[in-house]
């Protein structure tokens, strides 16, 4: 602990929890009395993003308008966060960090925490509980096990076993489907299933995942398409899948995050997160069992989140991935440091103005270029140490909605996706595993084996690498790989990156 933080009295708790609340600085206390709000929401995925986003919105909504909307947080796999939160009576803090200083507040939104892998039956029971009327998810793109390009379910062995045998479910699709089957059997009432992951049309993707998974566990012959839906129409009548756009930059917590939280709170918080001040949540208002008054916390409830979602995926996440790949190749550790590479910001502005802005119709009254400027300002926040390597991971799951959709829409309009093709080339150089100075780069991706095998089977030339990686049909759709203009652009950029490295390439084009 550092600074003039309040210190626990001798013998008092040194760890965040109910006992420590009284001693917290008044501005750091939760907005609701922890433990007093009955559960109405199950959230799958207890990562930093959930804690700094939906949990904060929900606590503020309940503080403003009431309602039984406590959140039961479920960690699908790792026990780490469940243990830490359980030891802290489900309390954690969010430090809002900007150049203007930090503010740390404890959030009391969690009504409980559970570990799915050690007690899957408890999660199934919870999903069938009539008190639960909303299920939200932040499980990252790969947990959906959908082909990023087509949305087709590609179940791995674990998902298949969850869907086709009686074993306790271990995967997200397995937990959802078993939970829904139990809920239908218990006639426990309607439910909204809300994806808060950065997937394209995330509501529809989640619906499609559930429908494909249900067909796999249903009877009948042949592949998933030939099987019957064991819920026989119950899903359509009872479950909604609102689309959402979620936004807040929340890097993985570090020892520094925990030290800052301890300094502000006077007790240790092992579940602390730090986030930028900015946050946004656009939600399609389809909640058959009700919902918290999230609008009281600043969320926008709408009929169609699609334009917001495209705006965010392309002009924020696409630009984030561009900065992450180019920055990592140039040896920069964080996004803010990458933005200091001479000319990178200029190239990102051109990506936004020339490619992203002409690829889709933004929400009414929104200028993509202005939105992009704000995004670049947010990325430059030096207090938020968001590592390029963290954003670079799982590229195969991210590229389609962040970059390839921009390319497809530009091509459909007969335009040349010059800058978006640079992002694809940067990813292709990144997955080859070496930065411009030869430092090894990690390939952390669910398709890592497929990517490595494709590269090993191809030739080393830029055209060979592009051909090999375009062969990943779960990522690159046929229309795109058959488009010679796109292919040539990517090969040109990759050739330039291979020969000259990121810094010289940016210098040459800016």
**198 touches ligand CS2 by CB under 6 A:** yes
Closest separation in Å from C-beta 412 to ligand CS2: 25
Tell me whether residue 180 or residue 426 sits nearer to ligand CS2 (CB atom).
426
Closest separation in Å from C-beta 475 to ligand CS2: 16
Give CA–CA dist 167/211, Å, rounded: 20
Residue (of 90, 100, 502, 63) closest to 292 by Cα position: 63
**28 touches ligand CS2 by CB under 6 A:** no
Closest separation in Å from C-beta 445 to ligand CS2: 12
Per CB under 6 A, contacts with ligand CS2 among 301-330 are 317, 320
Handedness of CA 291, 293, 297, 301 (dihedral sign): positive
SS3 track for 98-131: ECCEEEEEEECCEEEEEECCCCHHHHHHHHCCCC
Closest separation in Å from C-beta 327 to ligand CS2: 13
Q: Which conformational region is residue 226 in: left (phi greater than 0), alpha (psi within -120 to 50 degrees), or beta?
A: alpha
Closest separation in Å from C-beta 114 to ligand CS2: 24
Tell me whether residue 53 or residue 183 sits nearer to ligand CS2 (CB atom).
53
Selected range binding ligand CS2 among 23-31, 242-250, 450-458, 491-499, rule: CB under 6 A:
242-250
**451 touches ligand CS2 by CB under 6 A:** no
Count of residues that interact with ligand CS2, criterion CB under 6 A: 9
Residue (of 425, 292, 410) closest to 354 by Cα position: 410
Tell me whether residue 358 or residue 390 sits nearer to ligand CS2 (CB atom).
390
Q: To 5 degrees, how large is the angle CA 25–CA 26–CA 31?
A: 125
With tokens 């502005």, the residue in question is: 349
**339 touches ligand CS2 by CB under 6 A:** no
Of these, 81, 176, 391, 466, which contacts ligand CS2 (CB under 6 A)? 391
Closest separation in Å from C-beta 334 to ligand CS2: 12
Give CA–CA dist 166/55, Å, rounded: 33
Selected range binding ligand CS2 among 70-78, 117-125, 258-266, 390-398, rule: CB under 6 A:
390-398
Tell me whether residue 332 or residue 398 sits nearer to ligand CS2 (CB atom).
398
Question: In 37-59, which positions are buried (b, 16+ CB within 10 angstroms) versus exposed (e)?
Answer: bebbbbbbbbbbbbbbbbbbbbb
Per CB under 6 A, contacts with ligand CS2 among 398-417 are 398
**247 touches ligand CS2 by CB under 6 A:** yes
Q: Strands (DSSP E) along 183-331, which ranges?
A: 191-195, 239-240, 244-247, 273-275, 280-284, 300-302
Burial class (CB within 10 angstroms; exposed 0-12, middle 13-18, buried 19+) of 508: exposed
Selected range binding ligand CS2 among 130-138, 247-255, 454-462, 480-488, rule: CB under 6 A:
247-255
Of these, 176, 249, 357, 375, which contacts ligand CS2 (CB under 6 A)? 249
> At a CB cut-off of 8 Å and minimum separation 6, what does 138 contact?
43, 44, 45, 47, 49, 50, 53, 54, 196, 197, 246
Tell me which residues touch ligand CS2 (CB under 6 A).
198, 247-249, 317, 320, 390-391, 398
């Amino acid at each position: 602990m550092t600074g003039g933080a309040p210190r626990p009295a001798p013998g008092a708790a040194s760890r965040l929890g109910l006992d420590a609340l009284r001693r917290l600085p008044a501005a750091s206390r939760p907005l609701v009395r922890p433990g007093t709000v009955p559960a109405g929401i199950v959230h799958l995925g207890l990562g930093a993003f959930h804690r700094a986003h939906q949990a904060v919105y929900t606590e503020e909504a309940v503080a403003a308008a009431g309602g039984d909307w406590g959140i039961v947080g479920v960690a699908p796999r790792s026990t780490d966060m469940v243990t830490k939160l359980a030891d802290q009576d489900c309390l954690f803090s969010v430090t809002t960090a900007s150049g203007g200083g930090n503010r740390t507040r404890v959030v009391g939104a969690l009504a409980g925490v559970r570990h799915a892998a050690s007690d899957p039956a408890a999660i199934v029971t919870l999903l069938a509980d009539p008190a639960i009327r909303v299920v939200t998810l932040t499980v990252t793109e790969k947990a959906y096990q959908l082909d990023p390009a087509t949305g087709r379910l590609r179940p791995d062995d674990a998902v298949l076993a969850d869907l086709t045998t009686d074993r306790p479910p271990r995967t997200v699709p397995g937990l959802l489907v078993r939970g829904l089957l139990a809920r239908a059997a218990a006639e426990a009432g309607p439910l909204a299933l809300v994806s808060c992951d950065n997937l394209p049309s995330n509501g529809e993707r989640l619906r499609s995942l559930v429908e494909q998974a249900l067909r796999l566990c249903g009877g009948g012959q042949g592949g998933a398409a030939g099987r019957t839906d064991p819920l026989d129409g119950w899903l359509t009548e009872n479950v909604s899948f609102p689309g959402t756009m979620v936004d807040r930059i929340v890097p993985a917590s570090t020892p520094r995050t925990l030290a800052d939280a301890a300094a502000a709170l006077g007790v240790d918080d092992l579940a602390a997160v730090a986030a930028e001040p900015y946050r946004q949540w656009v939600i399609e208002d389809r909640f058959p069992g009700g919902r918290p008054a999230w609008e009281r916390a600043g969320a926008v409830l709408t009929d169609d989140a699609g334009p917001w979602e495209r705006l965010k995926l392309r002009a924020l996440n696409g630009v984030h991935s561009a900065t992450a790949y180019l920055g990592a190749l140039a040896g920069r550790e964080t996004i803010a440091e990458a933005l200091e590479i001479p000319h990178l910001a200029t190239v990102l502005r051109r990506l936004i103005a020339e490619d992203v802005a002409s690829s889709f119709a933004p929400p009414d009254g929104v200028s993509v270029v202005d939105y992009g400027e704000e995004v670049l300002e947010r990325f430059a926040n030096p207090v938020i140490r968001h590592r390029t390597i963290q954003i670079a991971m799982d590229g195969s799951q991210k590229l389609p909605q962040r970059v390839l959709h921009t390319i497809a829409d530009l091509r459909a309009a007969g335009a040349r996706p010059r800058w978006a093709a640079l992002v694809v080339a940067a990813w292709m150089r990144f997955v080859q595993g070496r930065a411009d100075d030869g430092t090894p780069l990690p390939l952390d991706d669910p398709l890592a084996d497929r990517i490595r095998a494709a590269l090993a089977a191809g030739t080393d030339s830029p055209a060979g690498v592009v051909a090999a990686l375009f062969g990943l049909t779960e990522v690159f759709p046929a229309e795109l790989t058959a488009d010679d203009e796109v292919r040539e652009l990517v090969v040109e950029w990759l050739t330039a990156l291979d020969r000259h490295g990121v810094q010289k390439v940016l210098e040459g084009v800016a």
